Amino acid sequence: MRVGLTHSVGSLPGLDARLQDLGFVVEWQPLVETRSILDEDTRRQAAALLRSDWLVFPSRSAVRAWAELGLPLVHGSPFTRDAAGVSEAFPRIAAVGDGTAAELRIAGGRVELVGGGDAESTARAVLSATPPGASVGLVQGDMARPTLGLTLAAQGRRVSAATVYRTRTRRWRGAPADVTVLASPSGANALGRGLLARTRCVAVGRVTAAEVRRLGGDPVVARSPDVAGLVAAVAVVAGERTMEVT
């Protein structure tokens, strides 16, 4: 059985190998590509978020862009010292999901809050951890949905954002796989209605699943937005497909 992977390079490491070990034929065509924005103006806007009480990272790409801009994830850097050289408080760090949290830890960040892999659960977690009036900095891409920022602002948090990477999509080449793994709403849109109708989809989370449904698909949602959760979901779908054939 063919399994199509659509996530960008650097995301979900090891997913292809795990699926191959289970006997699936894996075809990986990244439909989503992110590119860090590394100009001085972007660096200045992102650095301004260091004055926030919290920094929220929605994706691995946001973490990588932050690092490529030369910005810190630890207390005591030059960015967190005042003119007299006295260290100021470093923002607490939140990640939207486990994959982003892992990327932050690899980069040296101390992650204090991890959402459930989507904007809604992350907003609830940040609201629980902050009082009204707290400042929250969002490190995001150019296709970021407004849900997280709007939810926080509606509950009295002072929200700022910096766009540190761009997202580009491409089309799937050739016939779709029997099962296609979609790791983002952008990936679902790149695949398109026509191919979604000809494959069984596994969605990394509820937001991606909602986009697949909007486009006419009927996805299975992974129990967790990581390699283990996606592999389990693919196995479930593969079993359903086998029963359909027999």
**CATH class of the domain whose range is 2-31+170-245:** alpha beta
DSSP H stretches of helix in the chain: 15-21, 40-48, 60-68, 98-106, 119-129, 147-154, 185-196, 206-214, 227-245
Residue 224 has a pLDDT of 85
CATH number, domain 35-167, options 3.20.20.370, 3.40.50.10090, 3.20.20.30, 3.40.50.1370: 3.40.50.10090
Question: For residue 75, is pLDDT > 90?
Answer: no
Question: For residue 10, is pLDDT > 90?
Answer: no
CB 29 within 8 A of CB 183: no
Place of tokens 């990936």: 187
How far is the C-alpha of 96 from the C-alpha of 84, rounded, in Å? Answer: 35
State pLDDT tens for residues 22-72.
999 999 999 999 999 999 999 999 999 999 999 999 998 999 999 999 999
Residue ranges per structural domain of the chain: 2-31+170-245, 35-167
Residue 84 has a pLDDT of 43
Residue 8 has a pLDDT of 86
State pLDDT tens for residues 107-135.
999 999 999 888 889 999 999 999 999 99
Question: For residue 160, is pLDDT > 90?
Answer: yes
State pLDDT tens for residues 173-228.
999 999 999 998 999 999 999 999 999 999 998 889 999 999 999 999 999 888 99
**Which positions ≥6 away from 7 have C-beta within 8 Å?**
15, 30, 32, 181, 183, 184, 187
Residue 191 has a pLDDT of 95
In this prediction, residues 142-160 reach a mean pLDDT of 96
pLDDT band at 11 (very low <50, low <70, confident <90, very high): confident
Residue 77 has a pLDDT of 53
CB 46 within 8 A of CB 36: no
How far is the C-alpha of 46 from the C-alpha of 203, rounded, in Å? Answer: 30
Residue 86 has a pLDDT of 40
Residue 85 has a pLDDT of 42
Residue 99 has a pLDDT of 80
